[in-house]
Amino acid sequence: MSRPCRDCPFRKDSLEGWLGEQRAEQISASPRFTCHKKRDLQCAGHMLVHGSANDFVRMANRLEIELDLSGQELVFESPQAFIEHQKRKP
């Protein structure tokens, strides 16, 4: 994916709390994350939020491959902001 899909959990307009804090922490701790819609592609949202902490971003940088990612304005500024958004509210 080159852009976060409409239902990407890393989008700021995703449903608040739908993943829950624990699952969001697990996803965020992973060095890579497969798109939940297109299982043969990496999640653009994860790559944008995690930057060089994402394995595929780091590998592309080392190989000097342009990823052509877009949609930075759609996703959270940090992994912690993503986790906070995904916490279930009482």
Distance set, CA 67 to CA 10, 43, 47, 60, 62 (Å): 18, 12, 10, 7, 12
Please tell me the pTM assigned to this model.
Answer: 0.90
Six-digit token pair at 15?
Answer: 């449903």
Q: Identify the residue whose tokens are 């852009």.
A: 3
Six-digit token pair at 18?
Answer: 């739908």
Question: What digits encode the pLDDT tens for the residues 39-75?
Answer: 888 999 999 999 999 999 999 999 999 999 999 999 9
Note the pLDDT of residue 89.
82
